[in-house]
Structure 1
Amino acid sequence: MTVETPFSRSAILDRLARRRDAGEPILSASAGIGLVARSAEAAGIDLLNIQVTGISRHLGVPTTTTLGNATALTIEALPEIANVVEHTPIIGGLEATDGSRRDLRATIRRYRDLGFNGISNFPTVGSMLTWADIRRSVGEGIDRDFQLIRLAREEDLFTLAHAYTADHAAELAASGADVVVARCGATAGGMVGQPRENVSAEAACEYVQSVIDSVRRASADTYVIAHGGPFATPEDAPSLFASTDADGIHGESAIERIPIEVHVAKQVAAFKNQRIRVA
């Protein structure tokens, strides 16, 4: 039996259009635990994503996708997030090359019936281009990403697509993606992120704009938001919006790792700085 979802594709697109028309950035975030999801919703997040990498972030280790079956872990996480989220669409990561789920349409329909309001191609072999080319020859390559997005569009389900190159982004947009995430590499900073001196904001902005230009040629209606690299804090965002036509930001470590690291450490230090009465 199909579960009625509160956010149709058209309703989500209307929500994003209102943001852009108001000159406000679209903000999408990964939320691996209910506390992050609830806090993000309270602050007005536009899209909440369940991704397998969120689990590793809440384990306190560097981000990784190699924690088990990504799709199964995403499905398992949904009840915790849906339990505390009332007003925000929940997007579920679906690994298109999962050999145990060859029927993508059936999996998409299962996601919808479970209560997901949209689909993302996460994780994707797009992050491993050589491997993607090898897997293409056996029908398990990057073409599955594009098939996933096309099928979700046919099912009228909202799609957020992660892109690792301008060409990858264009194909995702041509396949019908509603939002393309221009991934700029691992997020810098914090306790387990790459060193900030290793990333260039200028280079990241150039890459994001190349993705935007590529996407616009394929689909004028697709939003493009940036993720990772130097865009780790709100203080990093002005350079992105001043130098590119990006519609917003997708935060993973920027939303569910670095703020926790910073504020828990700050809170503990503040308590430790108190003094007790000594007899």
Structure 2
Amino acid sequence: MAKQYTRDEVRARLRREIEAGRFILMQGAGIGLVARLVEQSGVDLIAVYNTGYYRMNGVASIYGTLPIGNANDTVLKLAEQIMPVVREVPLIGGIYAHDPTRTQDQAIAAAKRAGFSGIINVPTIGRIDGTYRRDLESVGIAFSREVELMRRAIAQDLYTVAYVYTAPEAVMMAEAGVDMLVGHVGLTAGGDVGAPGAMTMEAAIDEFNAMFAAVREVRKDVVLLSHGGPIISPEDAAHVSAHTDAVGFVGASSIERIPVEAAIKDVTTRFKQIRLK
């Protein structure tokens, strides 16, 4: 079974990696197979959130932001598959902060019981903008509730990871004491169900720099990672790291979907190319 770590233990593990000049990698896992393989390959953190469930069932991960299923229940169910095949890597569980069926403290307690060492705000209303976002915020379904979730998780000795889409969101999370901030620039491009309209790499770097510069005005110790949009390959992530303060990357589609699509298509085609005598 996966080991469960204290917040300080996770912080120390990542600090050693950064001080040694090694890139930080957190990977989302929607099935146990992916979790097992990425641990064997040296990943630093494994995230378990509801978007992975949809991604590994053949559709775009953005389905996880729609009013289908129950995000928190999905994560607890995935944990039953993933916890038994992970040995040493800390697991980070996605919590939907706005779930009306349970309090935030109940959701955090359930994550701890399941064996998670930390949490991440997935799904997040940071993914929503425009009139719909304003309507949500106006009735209290606000990003500030996700910030409060982080404060409560810190009080419960859990490592905290926050997805943020804007500089103001990043500052709110930094001020709350979050351990790791992940700049998110939208649905990942590439593969069969990737975003065809993802922003350019240059625009993504500008977005990351705006978010990270705002964070650094508040705190210097937050671990900064990148995710989404045009970042598909290790080379893309290295390019972002070279031009921003990101010391790592959060993989999702870039590891558990896009390479799998290519590999399965290739081996299936080669099997079908076998000719009978």
TM-score (norm 2): 0.93
Instruction: Determine the structure 1 residue equivalent to 2:46.
Output: 48
Q: Is the 8 A contact 2:187 2:229 kept in 1?
A: yes
Question: Structure 2 counterpart of 1:71, which letter?
Answer: N
Q: Deviations over 1:63-102 (max 9, x none)?
A: 211341101111111010001001111111100011112x
2-side partners of 1:107 and 1:272: how far apart?
Answer: 47
Cα offset for 1:269?
2.8
Q: What percentage of residue pairs aligned between the two structures are identical?
A: 38
- Kindly report which structure 2 residues correspond to 1:202-213, keeping only aligned pairs within 5 A, or say none: 202-213=202-213
Instruction: Determine the structure 2 residue equivalent to 1:141.
Output: 142
1-side partners of 2:157 and 2:14: how far apart?
Answer: 16
The answer to whether structure 1 residue 256 and structure 2 residue 256 are counterparts is: yes
Instruction: Determine the structure 1 residue equivalent to 2:30.
Output: 32
2-side partners of 1:209 and 1:19: how far apart?
Answer: 23
| 1:57 counterpart (50, 55, 58) | 55
SS at match of 2:42: coil
Q: Deviations over 1:210-236 (max 9, x none)?
A: 111111122211111000111111132
Structure 2 residue ranges without an equivalent (≥5): none
Question: Structure 2 counterpart of 1:11, which letter?
Answer: E
Instruction: Determine the structure 2 residue equivalent to 1:116.
Output: 116
Instruction: Determine the structure 2 residue equivalent to 1:185.
Output: 186
Cα offset for 1:241?
1.8
Q: Deviations over 1:113-134 (max 9, x none)?
A: 2211111111011111343432
Residues 1:106 and 1:61: Cα distance change in structure 2 (over 3 Å): closer
RMSD: 1.8
The answer to whether structure 1 residue 167 and structure 2 residue 163 are counterparts is: no
Residues 1:84 and 1:171: Cα distance change in structure 2 (over 3 Å): same
Q: Matched residue pairs, number? A: 273
Structure 1 residue ranges without an equivalent (≥5): none
SS at match of 2:174: helix
Question: Structure 2 counterpart of 1:14, which letter?
Answer: A
Cα offset for 1:153?
1.0
SS at match of 2:47: strand
Cα offset for 1:198?
4.5
Instruction: Determine the structure 2 residue equivalent to 1:220.
Output: 220
- Kindly report which structure 2 residues correspond to 1:62-73, keeping only aligned pairs within 5 A, or say none: 62-63=60-61, 64-65=63-64, 66=66, 67-73=68-74
1-side partners of 2:247 and 2:229: how far apart?
Answer: 17
Cα offset for 1:152?
0.8
| 1:6 counterpart (4, 7, 24) | 4
1-side partners of 2:89 and 2:203: how far apart?
Answer: 33
